[in-house]
Chain A
Amino acid sequence: MATRTSNLSTANPATPRAWRWLGATPMARRRALWGIALIAPNVLGLLFFFGIPVLMAFVTSLTEWSGFANRLPVFVGVENFGRLLVDADFWQALGVTLSLLMMTVPVGMALALGVALLLNQKLQGRAIFRTIYFLPVITSTVAATAVWTWIFQPRYGLVSAALAPFGLGDLNWLTRPDLILIPVAVVVIWQRLGFDMILFLAGLQNIPRTLYEAATIDGASGWQRFRFITLPLLSPTTFLIGVLATIGAFQIFDQVYIMTARTTRGGVGGSATTLSLFLYETAFTQSELGYASAIALALFLVTLLVTLIQLRLQRRWVYYESDAT
């Protein structure tokens, strides 16, 4: 190897031009090759299993295709998107998804913040409480939803037994379109609380204690300290959790699939069919892969849109320390 003789290989005519793009020195080129070799398995795998499907999603959404091996996709342009706009089932699924979003995100976040505030104090047994509140997070959604379905059984379920004294023991939680989203929301909140709590606790730990001491000396009440120190300094965490919870709410699938598996999948009259379930059913039960791909893109775009709105609104209420100079 001629390059080994010189450290100044940029000036070394023996270095083949083709290799220069990798780096200026032989050492740098060797490191570059190592780097490429190290990232190659994961990057190629991501490209193949996720990058290509992203591109395919766009193409498929422009076709009409049953997906059966002996049928070829037919190019139909943007027809699927036109159909989406006038499909009552799609709007219902979007409505169900947004309802679940409104039912789970604010309540779930408020509860998680409440628990985090309580656990952020000098208390005996903090660790045990934290463990208990976190347990549902690591439980399989399928198993957890099966349990909650049993809990919400009319008449013999726990909830019905508890409500029986009020004459509400026979409520058909799982088959009444006006009730079905309540058990679903309960599972979602129950399973998410511990996750949000941990993030809130981390955020609370980051607030400098000296601020509270100074405020106390200045005569601030507990509420004032919460309102003017905790809330603003916690707002980046609150924002982060809000975005994560919103994205999560748009993907609710396991809960509605399992909870309605015994009755009518997706709820009576589609009352529990979220966008994700609607997409799944259209693709794999109705075998309309082209149209389902259009739904998938719509799901992605709606999620992106809501996230962007949140990002825009954040300037109004999220306080970043680096902004205050």
Chain B
Amino acid sequence: MKRTLGEDMSLPMRLLTYAILIVGAVVMLLPFVWMLSTACKPPQELNLIPVRLIPQNPVCFENVSALYDRSEDFNNYLRNSALVTLGRTLGQLITCSLAAYGFARFKFPGREIIFALSLGLLMVPFQAIMIPEYLLVRQIGWLNTFQALIVPGIFSAFAMFLLRQAFLQIPLELEESALLDGANPLQVLWYVVLPLSAAAVAAFGVITVQAAWNDFLFPLVVAPTNADTRVATIGIALLQGQRDTPWNLLMMASFIATMPMLLLFVVLQRYFIEGVSMSGLAGR
């Protein structure tokens, strides 16, 4: 590993570096700590001055049940988020790895122009097409359905581009020998190409999961009013919008909705960071 700066830092410099990094880390972590702390406070402790970081009488579990009393369907929202996340990620993995393989290894008329046009869509932010997207979804009768939340999300120029980059790194000979053994392209993709690009697929997978779980504007546009298909982010927004929702319950809801991604990140950190580097490179 290359180290570029500060090879021989003096002790005071070293201490200063640590001090800055620790102060920064506290600022980064404080909202998480404050979220958990508030989520475990009884109502009468919310407006205490001076502020206390550790609740005097922690009531974590009571607050969980109080949250579900107030928002009975919150578990359904979480389940819906999970369903949408799973559907989008698996769907994207299928459509985008097929397309990435097609663009990486097959010659056909119009290949370059179709690829360029697909990538052109990356230039268009969702905001710019949110109204036609809503109209389209309404026109095909999908408003407030799971189809609307999942299906448009399984097509992605971005994932296709990233996976194609990864597939191009694989030595051709490996695929050719499989083809000579009589495998068809789908088998080659499944048994040779995907395993060899497992790291890239995992990196793509975690950033897709993260984006789908945290998505807010898209569900707000295509499934705004049906409680049966409501996702967790919308559920939190509704709680936030009700002025009488106590802060401890709102923080509990935020905490519950944040936990899955935090756990996933702790386990798969490497792939998250790789995914970010990859998407950065894609922007180049």
On A, residues with C-beta under 8 Å from B are 21-23, 28, 31-39, 41-43, 45-46, 49-54, 56-57, 60, 67, 114-115, 117-123, 129-144, 146-151, 153, 155-156, 158, 161, 164, 190, 193-195, 198-199, 202, 204-205, 207, 209, 212, 222, 225-226, 230, 236, 240-241, 243-244, 247, 250-251, 253-254, 257-258, 261-262, 275-276, 279-280, 283-284, 289, 292-293, 296-297, 299-300, 303-304
Chain B interface residue count, Cβ-Cβ cutoff 8 angstroms? 104
Whether B109 lies near A32 (C-beta < 8 A) is yes
On B, residues with C-beta under 8 Å from A are 1-7, 9, 17-18, 20-21, 24-25, 27-32, 34-35, 38, 46-51, 94-96, 98-99, 101-103, 105-109, 111, 114, 117-118, 121, 123-136, 151-152, 154-157, 160, 185, 210, 213-214, 216-217, 220-221, 224, 232-233, 236-237, 240-241, 243, 247, 250-251, 253-255, 257-258, 261-262, 264-265, 269, 272-273, 276-277, 280, 283-284
Residue among A21, A32, A139 making CB contact with B258, cutoff 8 Å: A139
Contacts A129-B21, A146-B250; is A36 near B102 (CB within 8 Å)?
yes
Between A and B, 11 residue pairs with Cβ closer than 8 Å are A33-B108, A34-B102, A35-B105, A38-B98, A42-B95, A54-B124, A54-B128, A190-B27, A240-B283, A250-B125, A262-B243
Whether B272 lies near A156 (C-beta < 8 A) is no
Whether A34 lies near B132 (C-beta < 8 A) is no
Q: Which residues of B contact A136 (CB under 8 A)?
A: 28, 31
Whether B155 lies near A146 (C-beta < 8 A) is no
Q: Which 4 A-B pairs have the closest CB atoms?
A: A35-B106, A38-B102, A45-B155, A53-B132
Whether B31 lies near A144 (C-beta < 8 A) is yes
Q: Is the interface of A mostly helix, strand, loop or mixed?
A: helix
The chain B residue with its CB closest to the CB of A123 is B17
Residue among B105, B114, B255, B284 making CB contact with A43, cutoff 8 Å: B114
Q: Which residues of A contact B250 (CB under 8 A)?
A: 146, 150
What is the CA–CA distance of A147 and B24 in the complex, to the nearest angstrom? 18
Residue among B21, B132, B253, B277 making CB contact with A119, cutoff 8 Å: B21
CB distance from A159 to the nearest CB of B (A): 10
Q: Which residues of A contact B48 (CB under 8 A)?
A: 156
Whether B236 lies near A142 (C-beta < 8 A) is yes
Whether A133 lies near B24 (C-beta < 8 A) is yes
Whether B106 lies near A32 (C-beta < 8 A) is yes
CB distance from A87 to the nearest CB of B (A): 17
What is the CA–CA distance of A38 and B94 in the complex, to the nearest angstrom? 10
What is the CA–CA distance of A130 and B269 in the complex, to the nearest angstrom? 10
Residue among A52, A60, A132, A153 making CB contact with B28, cutoff 8 Å: A132
The chain A residue with its CB closest to the CB of B8 is A122
What is the CA–CA distance of A286 and B253 in the complex, to the nearest angstrom? 30
Whether A209 lies near B135 (C-beta < 8 A) is no
Q: Which residues of A contact B49 (CB under 8 A)?
A: 155-156, 161, 164
Whether B5 lies near A202 (C-beta < 8 A) is no
Q: Which residues of B contact A53 (CB under 8 A)?
A: 129, 132-133, 136
Contacts A132-B29, A199-B277; is A143 near B155 (CB within 8 Å)?
no
Known contacts A142-B257, A156-B51, A199-B280; 11 further A-B pairs (Cβ under 8 A): A39-B99, A50-B155, A53-B129, A115-B21, A122-B7, A123-B21, A135-B29, A142-B254, A144-B254, A147-B31, A296-B130
CB distance from B252 to the nearest CB of A (A): 11
Whether A57 lies near B129 (C-beta < 8 A) is yes
Contacts A56-B136, A142-B237, A158-B51; is A31 near B106 (CB within 8 Å)?
yes
Contacts A60-B135, A143-B236, A151-B31; is A137 near B276 (CB within 8 Å)?
yes
Q: Which residues of A contact B257 (CB under 8 A)?
A: 140, 142-143
Contacts A150-B34, A280-B130, A296-B128; is A118 near B2 (CB within 8 Å)?
no
Residue among B106, B133, B258 making CB contact with A49, cutoff 8 Å: B133
Residue among B2, B47, B133, B154 making CB contact with A45, cutoff 8 Å: B154
Whether B251 lies near A212 (C-beta < 8 A) is no
The chain A residue with its CB closest to the CB of B46 is A156
- Most chain A CB inside 10 Å of its own CB: which residue of B130, B233, B251: B130
Whether B125 lies near A299 (C-beta < 8 A) is yes
Whether A43 lies near B136 (C-beta < 8 A) is no
Residue among A50, A135, A207 making CB contact with B32, cutoff 8 Å: A135
Whether B106 lies near A138 (C-beta < 8 A) is no
Q: Which residues of A contact B30 (CB under 8 A)?
A: 158
Contacts A207-B4, A258-B237; is A143 near B258 (CB within 8 Å)?
yes
What is the CA–CA distance of A115 and B253 in the complex, to the nearest angstrom? 31
Whether A23 lies near B107 (C-beta < 8 A) is yes
CB distance from B254 to the nearest CB of A (A): 4
Contacts A150-B250, A150-B251; is A38 near B136 (CB within 8 Å)?
no
CB distance from A244 to the nearest CB of B (A): 6
What is the CA–CA distance of A166 and B276 in the complex, to the nearest angstrom? 41
Contacts A23-B107, A143-B254, A147-B35; is A212 near B4 (CB within 8 Å)?
yes
Contacts A49-B155, A149-B240; is A161 near B131 (CB within 8 Å)?
no
